[in-house]
Amino acid sequence: MAKKYDYLVVGAGLFGATFAYEAKKRGRDCLVIDKRNHIAGNIYTKEEEGINVHIYGAHIFHTSNREIWDYINQFAEFNNYINSPVAVYKDELYNLPFNMNTFSKMWNIKTPAEARAKIDEQIAQLNITDPKNLEEQALAILNKQRAEITGEPANLEEQAISLVGRDVYEKLIKGYTEKQWGRDCKDLPAFIIKRLPFRFIYDNNYFNDRFQGIPMGGYTQIIEKMLEGIDVRTSEDFYDLRKTAVKDADGTYTARLSDGAEVSYDRILFTGQIDEYFDSKFGPLEYRSVRFETETLDMENYQGNAVVNYTEREVPYTRIIEHKHFEFGKQPKTIISREYSTEWKPGIEPYYPVNNDRNNALYEKYAREAAAEGDVIFGGRLGQYKYYDMDKDLAAALDCVNEEFGE
């Protein structure tokens, strides 16, 4: 006899696990399946050499939403990690995000006296009659370079120069962005970098959010706690299961798992690719993917920072992650991951959507199809085709719960 569930949750990542956890609190039974051989989706961490390795890349939880921060903290204690990446361009190191430390290195502004000398130089070049402070010095340089672009930026390159000037663009944006998106910046839409972290104070904190940190002991524990007491099956492909599914007259689905066990369920929460769910009937949506080369090194400290970006186009990887620094580790060995951004194709994991005009218009067609699927809820980055940070993904999952249960 088939085991009965209220929901089949497809995907054991943050969105799916949150929904299942909240559904269980409301007396609903869920079966959670995932095609990977582990839970936690892209936030999966695994302990190696006493280090919690972010298997699918760096994840720093950050938010300004106190409710979301309190919610996630019920599942783990977070440390006080502050994301302060460093960028490497040729043989130069720059602090990120773009701030006065960056500009100081970029334009050789190091002390107030040196800044005054540079300001005087810029006065002569730009006819500034009354520069008042160091911020105006940086702005003066940027404004001179911004003047090269007139009118509305037509592409990412023009957008970047209009925001940060040519020096910063050429050294810290152009190559990195082209690697990340697999396209020349002149062929990328301007909206991609409208929200560059950019400030005129000496502050290397990448995020502006009030709360941020890393769960001590890794992210997997959060999903484990959410899924306590809930049936979970990993290495289970939804599309194989769907081939066996039969819908009864009362609207209940009965299907077989990969081991032959029969299950029944009334509704589906689906966090996979929305276009794939509909057999790409309107054409495939575009995604970007990421691959990693991870190695253990017999040294205590490789690069001195958790995240180091490599901004030259000629360097094939976008960044190197040294995992121990997320939790201030002192282990005798270290583990690093080189991150390569790649074009998605069937057979590899999609990481994030490419939200340009073409794809957004195509997604709307799938969204209309999804709205007509009365028994299926679509969620998460892939199901809703949105680039969610973790806090936004969590908030969207809780909104989904409230809508589903009429709260």
Same domain for 232 and 380, yes or no, is yes
- Determine the length of the chain: 407
Q: Which of 199, 233, 291, 338 is catalytic?
A: 199
199 is catalytic: yes
183 is catalytic: no
385 is catalytic: no
| Nearest C-alpha neighbor of 116 from the set 94, 96, 140, 98 | 140
Tell me the β-bridge partners of 375: none
Is residue 69 a part of any domain in this protein? Answer: yes
Domain membership of residue 189 as a residue range: 99-193
Same domain for 130 and 165, yes or no, is yes
146 is catalytic: no
And the tokens for 36? Answer: 């990977």
Tell me the β-bridge partners of 322: 336
Is residue 330 a part of any domain in this protein? Answer: no
pLDDT at 170: 83
Is residue 390 a part of any domain in this protein? Answer: yes
Number of domains in the chain: 2
Same domain for 253 and 394, yes or no, is yes
Q: Which of 136, 170, 389, 404 is catalytic?
A: 389
pLDDT at 357: 86
How high is the mean pLDDT in each 10-residue block of the chain (407 residues)?
96 98 98 98 98 97 98 98 97 89 82 46 45 44 58 64 66 88 78 65 92 98 98 98 96 97 98 98 95 98 98 96 98 98 90 89 98 96 96 98 93
91 is catalytic: no
Same domain for 51 and 12, yes or no, is yes
Is residue 328 a part of any domain in this protein? Answer: no
Same domain for 269 and 394, yes or no, is yes
Same domain for 69 and 108, yes or no, is no
Q: Which of 28, 146, 183, 288 is catalytic?
A: 288
| Nearest C-alpha neighbor of 284 from the set 212, 219, 339, 365 | 365
267 is catalytic: no
Is residue 220 a part of any domain in this protein? Answer: yes
Domain with 392 in it: what CATH number? 3.40.50.720
Same domain for 107 and 237, yes or no, is no
288 is catalytic: yes
Q: Given the DSSP bridges, would you call strands 30-34 and 61-63 parallel, antiparallel or unpaired?
A: unpaired
Same domain for 15 and 73, yes or no, is yes
Q: Which of 70, 148, 210, 387 is catalytic?
A: 387
